[in-house]
A and B are shown apart, each in its own frame.
Chain A
Amino acid sequence: QVQLQESAPGLVKPSQTLSLTCIVSGGSISSGYYYWSWIRQHPGKGLEWIGYIYHSGNSYYNPSLKSRVTLSVDTSKNQFSLKLSSVTAADTAVYYCARAMVRGIAVDSWGQGTLVTVSS
């Protein structure tokens, strides 16, 4: 059973870069069947895709965030990462890392989520 665990920066200052890492256990990030994903949820709101990345490094981004997002994958450490630049209070959210099936992009495994607050 694959497990995903987000790192927890907690508080980020406005205009800085939010950095999160997701450690994958119980399964290989090099599996060709999955995309490795980031999804966020603003307090009391719905789910928002940030983007997803394949083990080869090919990545796909939400157009509304594309200019500020960088995804990366480290197969040697079985982990993947998110960087979101120039954050504002509007980026305060629970951030989930997740595994999505390549076929259809259904998310079948989720991390527990980590709340990131943007505040000075």
Chain B
Amino acid sequence: QSVLTQPPSVSGAPGQRVTISCTGSSSNIGAGYDVHWYQQFPGTAPKLLIYANNNRPSGVPERFSGSKSGTSASLAITGLQAEDEADYYCQSYDSSLSASLFGGGTKLTVL
């Protein structure tokens, strides 16, 4: 059971909008620590998709966006494409554990 909880899977049709949630607590997201998001394809290293809640690194399409409210954060993908099918992870810092940690990951399926 991860401290940062993500749904195991989400799905959507091409062109649709999907969101992936990351639920934490008052010792991590709720304490104001930044949330980051990663995309990982099978057999490859993860890639930073969103950093500091809502910032996109250079080269990441505007279709990807992040938000944070209270003890939760969300990754939104608009205009879903087949190439977006991957695993997505959130990450934040937890003050009670004194450690940075990842959510359990969400598998996105494009129908």
Contacts and interface: CB of A to CB of B under 8 A. Distances in A.
A60 B94 CA distance: 13
A47 B105 contact: yes
Interface residues of A, number: 22
Nearest to B101: A49
Given A46-B102, A49-B102, A96-B45, A106 B97 contact: no
A112 interface: yes
Contacts of A52: 100
Interface stretch (B15-23, B46-54, B78-86): B46-54
A110 B46 contact: yes
Given A96-B45, A104-B36, A106-B51, A47 B102 contact: yes
B69 interface: no
Chain A residues touching B, majority SS: strand
Contacts of B44: 112
Contact of B105 (A46, A60, A104, A110): A46
A108 B55 CA distance: 12
Contact of B36 (A62, A106, A110): A106
Contacts of A105: 34, 36, 91, 93, 100
B34 A104 contact: yes
A23 to B, nearest CB: 16
A111 B51 contact: no
6 contacts: A46-B105, A60-B100, A101-B51, A105-B93, A108-B48, A108-B57
